[in-house]
Structures are given as C-alpha cells and as structure tokens.
Chains A and B, each alone.
Chain A
Amino acid sequence: MSEQDPIAAFRVEAGELLDQVEQGLLDLGHRLDDRNLVDEVFRGLHTLKGSGAMFGFDALAAFTHHCETAFDRVRKGLVPATQELVAVILSAKDHMRALVDGDGAGQEAEGAAILARLQAAIEAAGGAPAGDAAPTGVAAAAATPEATGAGWQISFRLPADAMANGTNPLMLLDELRELGECHIVARTDAVPAFPDLIPTECHIGWDVTLRTSEPKSAIEDVFIFVMDDMVLTIEALAADPAPVAEAAPAVPMAAIAPPPGAVAPVAQPANDAGAAGRAATKAAGESVRVPAERLDELMDRVGELVIAQSRLSQVAGAGTDLILRSVSEEIARLAGELRDTMMVLRMVPVASLFGRFRRLVHDLSRETGKSIELATEGESTEVDKTVIERLADPLVHLIRNACDHGLETPEVRVAAGKAAVGRVLLSAHQAGGEVVITIRDDGRGIDRDRVRAKAEAQGLIQPGQVVPDQDLLQMIFHPGFSTAAQVTNLSGRGVGMDVVKRTIESLRGAIDVTSSPGQGSTVVLRIPLTLAIIDGLLIRVGSGRYVIPLAAVEECLELSLEEDLRSRGRSFITLRDRLVPFLRLREMFTTGSKPDTYQKIVVVATGAERVGLVVDQIIGSHQTVIKSMSSLHRDVATFAGATILGDGGVALILDVAQLVAIGQQQEERLRAAG
C-alpha cells in the first residue's frame, strides 16, 4: 500500500504545472500565432482545474474554470491571442498559485478583479459571447467531421497515476457521453491482485461505443490532458453497425489479476500517443522525487562519514597493522565515491533558476514600456541546489536594475543608433570549481562621473583621488549607495546593491563589474559550485592547520631562505615573467613562531588575479566538510569556514577571494609607493 499525502503531492504537481503554464504563456507572448503553445497552456489550465476539484481546492477549480473557458475561445480560434490576454492570464496564474498555497480565503476580490480584466481582454481582442461568433481557423477545421460513419469505437486506459494526479476518469466518461449515445463497459482485467495494488493508482480500462457525428478530434479533446501518457485507440464504427448494446461483450468484473502463469491481455496502443505514453511512463518510473531536506540530511551524514574516515586513515596510518590500513584505504575510496555521488545528486541545472527571470523581464517590459529581450545561455550548467536557492534574490536585483536603469527607452536607443529592443543576456558556465554567471545588458552603461560624485559626497573617496576603474565601479555595491536617487544605471528601487554583494560573498563568491558608456554593463558572479564539501589543500602555518580550497590552487613553490630575505619589504615573486604578490600567513596570523627553513608558496587565483600564500608546510589534500563559523567569528573576512580533521582538531578554511583582494591591495600600495 502506498503512503503519500495526496494534498502535498497535489501542491507540488500544481506548482510544476503552473510553471509550465507560465513558460508557455511567456513563449506565447513572443509567438502569438503558435497553436501548439495555445494548446499547451490550455492543457495546463484544464489539468489544474480537474486536479484542484479532485483534491478539494474548490476556489482554485472555480477560478481556473473561468480562465480555461476564456482561453478555450483562443484555442478554438474564436479570439486571437493578444499580449494583453497573455498578461492577464499570467496574473491569473499568480492568483492560482496563491490559491494552491492557501485556501482562497480573503482572495475573492482579487480573483474577481482578474476575471473582469480577463473579460475585458477577451472583448478587446474581438471576442463575442460564446456561440455568437462563427468558427474560424482551427474551430472551422474542428467542425468538419473527419469521418461520416456511425461513430467511434474507443478503448482507453489511463496512466496508473492519473487519479493520484487529480484526473477523474468519471468526468472523462461524462464528457464522452456529452458527444453522443454511449455504451460504456469497464474492464478490470489489468487490476493487480490485492497485495500488489497501490490503491491510488488506476488500473481500470474502458471500451466505449460512441454513436455520434462528432469528429475523432472531439474525442481526442476529451483526453487532451492525459493523452501523452495513456493508451487510447479510436476506430471508426461501420456505417451500419450492430446495435450498441451488442458492440461490446460482457466482461466479468472479477477478471482481475490473472493467476501465475497466465498471460495478461496487454492493451496495444495503436497510435503515437500511446507509444509516447509508454515512454513517458518509463521515464517517470526512472526518476524519484525526494524532498530537499532529505538530501540535506544525507549530505550531513556523508559529511560525518568523511570526517570519520579521515580519523580512521590517521589511526591506520599511525599503526603497523597492514590489514587495518588496507581496510582504511578501501573505506577512503568508498567514502570518496559516495561523496562524489552525493554531490551530483545535489546538482541542479541553472535552467530552473533562469526560467523564473523570463517572467520578471516580461513584467518589467510591460511596466517600463521598454522592449526587452532576455537571452539565456548555458542553462544546463549544474550548481549545488543550495547555491541555486541563494542566487535567486541577487539575480532578481541585478536583472531588475539592468532592465529598469541600464536599458534605455526604444526612442533613446533608436536615436543612439541601437536596435529598439534592449537585450539582457543571462549566461552560466563552469570554470574549475566555480560557476560563472554573467548578466550583460546593452544599455547606456554606468555613468562613472555620477558614481564618483556620489562616492565623494559620501566620503568614500577624496575629491580628485585617483581610483582604479574597477574600484570605482565596485562603489555601487557600497551600503546606502545604490538606494540613493538613481545615481547609477544599476541603481535599484530601494534594494541596495550591497545586498547583492553581501549575498554573493556569503556564498564565498565574487562580483566583477565592467561597463562601457553607451554599450552596456556586465556583472560577473563567480560562485563555488558547492557549499558542502570541497577538496582542500591542508597546510600548516606555525602550529595551526588550515585548508585552502583546491580548486583555487594553481601551483606550489618553495621559498628558500635567501629568497625570503631578499623579498622582505616587497613580498613579490617573479612567476613566469610576472610579478605575483604574496602574503606571509605566519605574519598575518601572528603565530609568533619562527618560519620553517623551507617555506612554501601556494599560488591561488580567482579569475585573472593571483596571490601567493607563504606557508610553513604543505600537508596534503584533504576532503573538507565545510562547517560554518560561529556568529562570533562570522566577520573574520580571511576565513570562509572551518572543518574537522581526522584527529579531531579543527582547521580554518581560507577565504581565497579575500586573500587575493588583500594581495591586490598590497600590490597597489607598493606600486603607488614606486
């Protein structure tokens, strides 16, 4: 017996359905004549209505029914799809989501207002009351019977999860009855034996003899929202058939679950929809929906296992027991593989993140009167689900700012010799252990003079002070900066860009900004692929041990005593004809210990910037389970977190972006000093 909460399952399914409806509507906004998109949206609304009623969401079902009825007129070609209609249905979709999440109490007025707008949009699009307008286009085609025989012999079996997903087979039978005289015989031959039956599944099939002049497409319409996953055969009846009651043989209800050895009759789908249904069913059977918190829980367990394995390795390594060492190595290998598998499980394509911005840009386009095209690239790039969740808000701010203030009005753009349609590009790609997300607009670019004026007014820089371009552009992320009256083209509406920066930094990420006057701005976010477990390089500085994320490590060098002495006061090394600043971690961390004779330099990089970290010893690679710092230590910028070592000790994880920034500042100071 299955144990699932149908209401919770419905909410999840409805959420996905609404996402599909939204994507369909957004696409429809660009291709108003696309019949497939109209059908797709209609199917979504139809399914939602049926499911809602099935699971007791009466307010949702009633509201969706009105929307479906209105949209059905578009589907039948009685009313053309318009931008206004798409926009109203999008609003209606938002309302449906609220009804799915709540019980609809207190939301009646809002629903009524949307329906009034919907009615107005239908009328504005030239729609007459149902039944008055002569069918055209698709409707005209549908009105032409495809067969002039006596009717249809229909055999169907719904997907097993149809009832659980909210489809009521009785409603489908009623809809068939509305098409003409029906003789309906239920078939129970595929119902599993009681111990094997999942009660919420539907294994009953039907043979229906339908006397009608309606075309085949009218029957297919009845099954429109389950067509892809079901087995359906529709055959024309002979012109002079036997009486209806004799068309289908009696089938005992008890013909259930053939005894072992017997061959169960298998319904053979006679059309592509059936084949597609099989494929879809198969695909559905190969994936499992798992609550996110269970994945988090599993991740925690894997983290603990990695730590325990690390301790075992240490114990085994310290002893002489070869068998113990062999077992330890085996467990280390398995733990590593388990960790890798776990990490893959948590990876989600950024498409799920990018998808939601299409709606944002659509709404902004309508609000601002600008024509905006959102282009996306690299949607298949995968990132840890936690990162995805936390990236959503910063990206909303950045895209909103790019659309609101980066892009010009169509008139200004045309006057500047640009295309009237502004373009925002959202792209993602993986680079080493990071995902790089780029938000690029082709608008007016950041007004550096205004940024400088504001920065000077706020005392962030001195009047006339020479500030590197990147530093100047980074000013827009300063708290209180962007909320001021539209100083830069990336300024927000009360949402400071400092929030964006803070969120990205909390993800151990970094932000780069570039901008060309008149050509647009580019914001690049560099985020670690995962926040949970990383491969680290374990090092020692003084008596303390630290971890450097391995993805940031470029190379390791030896710093001889002579070089160390020679570089005092400069802290630069020459690496392949390029000066690289380095930081003496022993001094930064004031260990109070003497340096080892043979110190090492670990060269780390973020983007194009590099810095060397002088350490006493490189211990080796280490699978690092990241533990967040306590609130007391959260402001210590040099560290990104902590981890537990195999011997139970704690190692702090170095924040490479911060260290590189410190190195760059040191370099600037030394250059300025000549």
Chain B
Amino acid sequence: MSSCVLDVPSSVTVRSVAEFGQQLATAIEGRSDVALNVDALQELDLSFVQIVLSARTHVEREGGVLRLARPANPAVAALLRRAGFLAAPDPADIEFWFHGELPQ
C-alpha cells in the first residue's frame, strides 16, 4: 500500500468529469493514502464535489484515506457554500475540505 498526490486540473466540470474520474480511479486503486491537490482548480461544478465525496467514502470503506493536500481554495469553498454543503456541515466534512477551519 502506498500513497500519492493527485494534481486536480484547473477545470473539472460535467464536461470533463469523466476523464477526471478515471484519473481518480487510477490514483486510489491499491493505495491507502491519496491526497488531492486542488490548488489549481478554478472552474468546477457539482460533478466535482459529488465524485470526490463518492471516492472519499469508497476509500474510507476500504480502510484508506482520501484527503485534500491543502485546504480547499476559494473557488472550491465558494461552490460548497453555494450548493448548500456548508449550511450545516458535519465536523468531519469541515476537516476534510478545510482541515478543520471553516472559512468565513
């Protein structure tokens, strides 16, 4: 079992999420610790959040960890807020997206 960091491209939307999904599947295959680097991600929609949440649950069920390399950047945070993910967040979610500190 090993770890890796997957650099998320600058754009992940419904138009490109299938391709990102394949990269993500490859990254988590057989690894126990996978970090997503979302620093470059600027253009995103719900498909990104959905696939990350789904992958996170899957990895955790397999006994591994999927995390963000660094706290979500403002673009990601804005989308989470706009989509209603931060209205009543679970502490684990705050930990996952923002490493414990919800941005104001």
Contacts and interface: CB of A to CB of B under 8 A. Distances in A.
Interface of A: 1-4, 6-7, 54-56, 163-164, 168-170, 173-174, 183-186, 188, 191-195, 197, 199-200, 202-204, 206, 208, 245, 248-254, 256-257, 259
A185 B18 contact: no
B53 A253 contact: yes
B21 A1 contact: yes
B41 interface: no
Interface string B3-42: 0000000000011011011100100100000000000000
A2 B15 CA distance: 12
28 contacts: A1-B25, A3-B18, A4-B18, A7-B15, A54-B14, A56-B15, A164-B14, A168-B45, A169-B46, A169-B83, A170-B82, A174-B82, A184-B83, A184-B84, A185-B84, A188-B50, A193-B61, A197-B50, A200-B18, A202-B47, A203-B50, A206-B84, A252-B92, A253-B89, A254-B53, A254-B57, A254-B96, A257-B54
Nearest to B17: A199
A173 B87 CA distance: 13
Contact of B14 (A195, A200, A245, A256): A200
Could you tell me the dominant secondary structure of chain B's interface residues? helix
A254 B93 CA distance: 7
Contacts of A192: 54
A629 B56 CA distance: 62
B14 A6 contact: yes
B58 A250 contact: no
Interface residues of B, number: 36
A163 B61 contact: no
B87 A185 contact: yes
B54 A202 contact: no
A199 B19 CA distance: 9
A156 B58 CA distance: 25
B90 A199 contact: no
Contacts of A252: 90, 92-93
Contact of A199 (B51, B58, B83): B51
A170 B57 contact: no
A254 B53 CA distance: 6
A12 B104 CA distance: 43
Nearest to A209: B87
Contact of B57 (A54, A194, A248): A194
Contacts of A184: 83-84, 87
Given A185-B84, A199-B47, A199-B50, 17 more contacts: A3-B18, A7-B15, A56-B15, A164-B14, A173-B84, A174-B82, A184-B84, A188-B53, A193-B57, A194-B28, A194-B58, A197-B54, A199-B51, A245-B88, A253-B96, A254-B56, A254-B93
Contact of A186 (B47, B58, B84): B84
Contacts of A3: 18
A257 B89 contact: no
Given A6-B15, A252-B93, A199 B57 contact: no
Nearest to B51: A199
**Which are the 9 A-B pairs with shortest beta-carbon distances?**
A184-B84, A252-B90, A194-B58, A250-B88, A186-B84, A199-B17, A199-B21, A256-B57, A253-B93
A526 B58 CA distance: 61
A6 B17 CA distance: 11
Contacts, number: 120
A194 B90 contact: no
Contacts of A253: 53, 85, 89-90, 93, 96
Nearest to A186: B84
Contact of B18 (A191, A199, A204): A199
B7 to A, nearest CB: 18
A42 B48 CA distance: 30
A183 B85 CA distance: 11
Contacts of B93: 252-254
Contacts of B88: 185, 245, 248-251
Contacts of B77: none
Contacts of A169: 46, 83
A203 B90 CA distance: 19
Q: Which among B17, B54, B58, B61 has the highest number of chain A CB atoms within 10 Å?
A: B54
Interface in B59-77: 59-61
Contacts of B58: 193-195, 257
B23 to A, nearest CB: 11
A254 B87 contact: no
A627 B27 CA distance: 52
A256 B57 CA distance: 7
B97 to A, nearest CB: 9
B15 A191 contact: no
Nearest to B83: A186
B14 A163 contact: yes
B47 to A, nearest CB: 6
A249 B90 CA distance: 10
A100 B15 CA distance: 17
Contacts of A202: 46-47, 50
A163 B47 contact: yes
A170 B18 contact: no
Q: Which among B47, B49, B50 has the highest number of chain A CB atoms within 10 Å?
A: B50
A208 to B, nearest CB: 8
Contacts of B49: 204
A188 B92 CA distance: 14
Contacts of B21: 1, 197, 199
Contacts of A195: 58
A197 B24 CA distance: 12
Contacts of B55: 194
Nearest to A246: B88
Contacts of B82: 170, 173-174
B60 A170 contact: no
B2 to A, nearest CB: 19
